[in-house]
A = this chain, B = another copy of it.
Amino acid sequence: MIPYTRRAWLPMLVSPRGSLSPGVMRRVLAFGVIAAALWLAHRLIPRVSLSIGIHEVAGAVIALILAFRTNTAYNRFWEGRTLWGSIVNSSRNITRIVNAHAGVDPGAAREVAVWVVVFVHAARRSLRGQVERPEIDRLLPAEQIGALAEHAHPPLRAAQQISERLAAFVRAGSLERNMAVCAEEQLSVLVNCLGGCERILKTPTPLGYILLLQRGVALYLATLPLALVEALGVLTPLVTMMVAYPVLMIEALGGELDDPFGHEPNDLPLTRICDTIERDLLGSSPLNLVMASKAESYQD
């Protein structure tokens, strides 16, 4: 994610940071080249032109799909953020309940908190398809590291470990049965949120709409110079590119936010969220050091 401060209207206007999704500039230039070619063709054969009316009719349909695309992409982004917000909340709730209501020694209570942190890190790694987890290896004894790595779905193994510790507390009489249910429900929220993130990750916007938007935009921008050339002459390529930039940016931003768990400029800062959780639950977090030693970005 790109952090930014609000209100600095003029500096923001001229700063280049964050204003281009990868590949957009290339596409804008390509449509500028097409426009220049059509302007040349028009100078040679003046009949090469269209009335602007057709582009107004087609523009309404494209605006409709752009609006749909923007809304669904933002909703996916925000749902992903809300799910991670719930992960933050539930990790706090589980730890608070165990600390206050379980009559166990601090070491056993801290062990539960460590497994919650492991769940969170494993969930992030799983959503990003990463198999190395140095920040987890710090936290667990060696045999647990191996068992976690071998499991088909590491976060589920962490959830199972928390559940078993709660069951052991109940059996030992140190945690009241009703409170164990209360903690188990918070654990189910953790598992549900991870499942929700996997749902977003594995179910992109239906391909049909993606293709429709992409092709509609390409056709629209490639024929727009024909409608402008009569009135604008040599300015045609410039104006075409000025229309192409926002349209292609909206399309590219839609694609970026569709999978909000990656490393693109507008994606969610999962590493920092996990760091917040570790800090809240274990008192401190050396996560930025771990990331730095692995040459990973702590900002994302």
Contacts and interface: CB of A to CB of B under 8 A. Distances in A.
Interface of A: 1-2, 4, 6-7, 9, 12-13, 18-19, 21-23, 27, 50-68, 70-72, 74, 77, 81-82, 84-86, 88-89, 92-93, 96-97, 99-101, 152-153, 156, 159-160, 163-164, 166-167, 170, 176-182, 184-188, 191-192, 195-196, 198-199, 203-204, 206-212, 214-216, 218-219, 228, 231-232, 239, 242-243, 246-247, 249-250, 253, 255-259, 265-266, 268, 279-280, 283
B55 A55 contact: no
A140 to B, nearest CB: 19
A98 B246 CA distance: 53
Contacts of A101: 163, 166-167, 170, 184
A184 B182 CA distance: 8
Q: What is the count of identical protomers in the complex? A: 5
B55 A52 contact: no
A84 B198 CA distance: 12
A253 B242 CA distance: 26
A208 B85 contact: no
Contact of A166 (B27, B100, B164, B210): B100
Contacts of A96: 156, 159-160, 163, 187, 191
A247 B21 contact: no
A23 to B, nearest CB: 6
